Structure 1
Amino acid sequence: MAGSSKDKNTTVRQDFVNTLSKLEGIKKTEAFLAWRPESLEDPDQQGWMNFILPYLSIVSHSASGPHPYITFRFTVNPLHTNGLRTMHGGCTSTLFDTCTTLPLHLVSKPGFWQRQGVTRTLNVTYLRPIPVGATIHIRCELLHVGRTLCALRGEMRAVDENGREGSLLAVCDHGKANTDPPVGKL
């Protein structure tokens, strides 16, 4: 009997993690956003990210200090909304959790945030509703990155049809803990 679907998905994910570990900087973020494994098309393997990543793209980035950043573009689709046809708070939080993590790719190296760590705190403040069809920018920056802990910040802003940023829609503060094993064990 062949290996289970769960075993195959675990192997696919591990292969992807190994591929990412060989990339650096914004190339690592671009590969993450482009990842669409066939195994995740299985309805039993669906999760929020399957419904978010296809609508997320990079607008700009800088690896320069003191605060490296990446700005993303996201368009709110009906599957991202609540009963009021505005972006669901859980989707907003998931976007912030994911997007504020990705600037760590700009500074990661073996033994230093290569696995992007785990969330310790995620404080989201919702300022305005974000309607279905809206295009937003999500600016995410590293405020501090140490050996074991980091602090990140995110802002969501409305974007008009000419690409100009408008109203501040939501903000977040994100704290993470590094989970990388010692360099010799990666």
Structure 2
Amino acid sequence: MAKDTLDEIAEMWLKSIPDEAGNLAAGNWMAAILPHLSLVQTSPTDTQDTPVVSFAFTVRPKHCNRMNSLHGGCIASIFDFTTTLSLARIGRPGFWDSLGVSRSLSVTYLRPAPAGTELLIDCEVVQVGRTLAALRGSIKRRRDGQLVAVCEHGKVNVDSGPRL
């Protein structure tokens, strides 16, 4: 990730290409989500503010539960994927370059998002150390800014190298 920008990394993951066996690098369950997820913006890295990475997502019927609302498991998968991508802002060879693995993912569901709803997802790195990171995400309706869900995501760095 040394010379890649976050935008390039995000676009690479969002356009996850199947391998010879047809499996996506991001996981096959993401095949129903990735085509409807796009990078909106990244905040500058040269400020003291917490960097925010924003995505857009439009709920389709295939993402919904039997009440025609965005399924909670789909929301958790979206948070897992998008908050992880926010780590690409600080990753460099030997430091979070693999973007780690999930240690915890706590999602609070606040209101439904029916099929057709356009959503904005904001993700931020709250704290990052050598082995652990704390990430936060929010999903809002685009039309009125009302929160749909929030999350706290803990990650563990699994980059190869000595551990102290």
CA distance in 1, matches of 2:84, 2:22: 24
Question: Partners in 2 of 1:49 and 1:39 — Cα distance?
Answer: 17
Q: Which amino acid aligns with 2:17?
A: R
Paired position in structure 2 for 1:27? 8
Out of 150, 154, 157, the position equivalent to 1:175 is: 154
CA distance in 1 between partners of 2:21 and 2:134 (Å):
31
Higher mean alpha-carbon deviation, 132-141 vs 47-56, is at 47-56
- Identity over aligned pairs, percent: 44
- 1:24 Cα deviation from its structure 2 partner: 3.7
Q: CA deviation at 1:166?
A: 1.6
> Partner letter of residue 168 of structure 1?
L
- Which of the residues 26, 29, 32 maps onto 1:51? 32
Which one-letter code corresponds to 1:71 in the other structure? S
**Is residue 76 of structure 1 aligned with residue 76 of structure 2?**
no
- Secondary structure (helix, strand or coil) at the match of 2:40 reads strand
> CA shift at 1:38, angstroms?
5.8
1:106 Cα deviation (Å)? 1.0
SS in 1 for 2:88: helix
Q: How far apart are the structure 2 equivalents of 1:114 and 1:24?
A: 13
Number of paired residues? 157
- Give the structure-2-normalised TM-score: 0.88
Tell me, in whole angstroms, the C-alpha distance in 1 between the residues paired with 2:51 and 2:21: 31
Unaligned runs of 5+ in 2: none
Asked if 2 retains the 8 angstrom alpha-carbon contact of 1:25 and 1:63, the reply is no
Displacement of 1:41 after TM fit? 4.4
Please give the per-residue CA displacement for 1:31-59, whole angstroms capped at 9, x wherever unaligned: 111222264647xxx72211111110011
SS in 2 for 1:70: strand
Residue aligned with 1:115, SS: coil
Whichever structure has more helix as a proportion of its residues is 1
Structure 1's unaligned 5+ residue stretches are 1-19
What is the Cα-based RMSD across aligned positions, in Å?
Answer: 1.9
Cα distance change of structure 1 residues 101 and 63 upon mapping to structure 2, 3 Å threshold: farther
- The answer on whether the counterparts of 1:136 and 1:156 sit within 8 Å (CA) in structure 2 is yes
